[in-house]
Every structure is written in C-alpha cells, then in structure tokens.
C-alpha cells in the first residue's frame, strides 16, 4: 500500500510539474439537461437527468469530474472521475486514452448499493469515423458489482447525423454474451437566442437489440 501511494504521489508530482510549463491550460464547466439518461444501450432512472461536469485541460491532457442525477421517482445517481490524454496523429486522425472511475452512490439498474467501476478506454478517430474499445471492471462484494464487461463501438458523423453501433457483453446484453447492444442515431443544432448567445440542442434514438430496449431523448447544454 505504501509503495502504491508513493508511486501515485510521484506521478501526480510529475504531472503538476509538466503542466506548469504548458501555456494552453483551461478550466471548463457545464450542465446538460436531458429528458432521459441514455448510455451504451441502457436507460438509467426515470424523469429528466441533470448532468454537470468540470474539467481541467492542458495540451492533450484532461482531468475532470462528471455526474448524472435523475429527477424522477427512481433515482439513478452517478458521479465519475476521469483522466485522459489525446494525441494528434495528423491527416485528420487522433488517438486518446481515458481511465474512468464510475461511482454509483445508490442502487441502480447496474448496481446493488454503493459501488465503483474502473474502466480503461482507447479511442481512434479517422476522418468522420471513431472506433472505441473499453473494459469495465467492477469492484464490489456482490456478484453484480464484480463483473467485467467489454464494450466495442464504431461511430460515424454523416453531416448533421451521428450513427453509432456498439456491442458488449456482461451487463450490456440480456444473456451476458457478447452481442450488439447499442444502435443509436443522433443529431444536434444550435438555436439562436440572441446575437451573442446560442443554445445547443441535441437528440437521439437508441435501440438495444439484445434487451429489446428502445428509447428517445432530447437535451440542451448550458
């Protein structure tokens, strides 16, 4: 444990020293309000979802916190921490690595009581296409919260429309076997409110062929 803490402290120290020499440092914060919380073929909670986020970025590095809190009778609270780095590969290509700690303080569709999930993820962007691979490892005392789930996704931006095809196993599908679990078509636009302010609006239709779930959601970003 002491060795782990020492390594972690050394890494954080090196990070602080390295970003101190980066001029392009930025803090950003925002709030998304969606009619439903949709993610990788699943719908969480009932009612609208409030999703705040805070991020610090420096060069290709980013670290932040993101959450989602439902307004309906069935709570679906989530508070995540993440750290990542992105590389510009040139020729309209990019590569990024992200490590996320998913924290569910209450019982949800995926969890029984309080639980954490850790997930390393890699994404490759080539032109209008994005390919993503993620592996979620649950840490808990019960069988549900200790599962390991693989998720693979391919997405393409075709003008104003984004099309996503995702497959996974474990909790992503009805029987736990790897299958297509996320077919999503989404779009977004900005509504001109005044000469200096526009309101981003987005919407998506999502189908999970494995579970039979079909959902539609719209939202705004502040």
Model pTM? 0.84
pLDDT attached to residue 193:
87
Q: Report whether pLDDT(4) > 60.
A: no
Largest Cα separation within the chain, whole Å, is: 56
pLDDT attached to residue 18:
53
Tell how strand 115-126 and strand 93-104 pair up. Answer: antiparallel
Average pLDDT (10-39) is: 74
pLDDT attached to residue 110:
55
CB 188 within 8 A of CB 202: yes
Domain ranges of the chain: 24-163
pLDDT attached to residue 11:
46
pLDDT tens for each residue of 76-128: 889 999 999 999 999 899 999 999 999 988 665 555 656 788 999 999 999 99
At CB < 8 A and 24+ separation, what contacts does 48-57 make? 48/72, 49/76, 53/29, 54/27, 54/28, 54/29, 55/27, 55/28, 55/29, 56/25, 56/26, 56/27, 56/28, 57/24, 57/25, 57/26, 57/28
**Rounded to an integer, what distance in angstroms lies between the CA atom of residue 133 and that of residue 114?**
26
Average pLDDT (36-63) is: 95
Average pLDDT (18-28) is: 70
**Rounded to an integer, what distance in angstroms lies between the CA atom of residue 97 and that of residue 99?**
7
Best CA proximity match to 135, nearest among 169, 110, 173, 179: 169
pLDDT attached to residue 5:
39
pLDDT attached to residue 195:
84
pLDDT attached to residue 109:
57
pLDDT tens for each residue of 128-166: 999 999 999 887 555 445 568 999 999 999 989 999 999
**Rounded to an integer, what distance in angstroms lies between the CA atom of residue 27 and that of residue 62?**
10
Two tokens, residue 96: 């990024």
pLDDT attached to residue 148:
80
């Amino acid at each position: 444990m002491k060795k782990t803490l020492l390594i972690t402290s050394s890494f954080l120290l090196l990070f602080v020293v390295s970003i101190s020499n980066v001029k392009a440092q930025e803090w950003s914060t925002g709030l998304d309000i969606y009619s439903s919380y949709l993610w990788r073929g699943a719908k969480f909670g009932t009612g609208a979802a409030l999703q705040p986020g805070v991020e610090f970025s420096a060069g290709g590095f980013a670290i932040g916190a993101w959450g989602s809190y439902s307004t309906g009778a069935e709570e679906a609270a989530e508070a995540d921490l993440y750290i990542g780095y992105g590389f510009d590969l040139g020729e309209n290509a990019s590569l990024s690595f992200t490590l996320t700690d998913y924290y569910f303080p209450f019982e949800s569709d995926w969890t029984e009581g309080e639980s954490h999930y850790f997930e390393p993820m890699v994404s490759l962007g080539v032109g209008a296409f994005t390919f993503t691979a993620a592996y979620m490892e649950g840490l808990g005392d019960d069988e549900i919260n200790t599962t390991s789930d693989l998720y693979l996704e391919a997405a393409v931006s075709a003008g104003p429309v984004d099309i996503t095809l995702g497959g996974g196993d474990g909790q992503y599908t009805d029987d736990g076997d790897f299958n297509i679990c996320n077919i999503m078509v989404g779009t977004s636009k900005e509504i001109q409110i005044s000469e200096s302010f526009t309101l981003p609006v987005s919407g998506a239709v999502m189908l999970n062929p494995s579970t039979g779930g079909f959902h539609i959601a719209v939202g705004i970003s502040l």
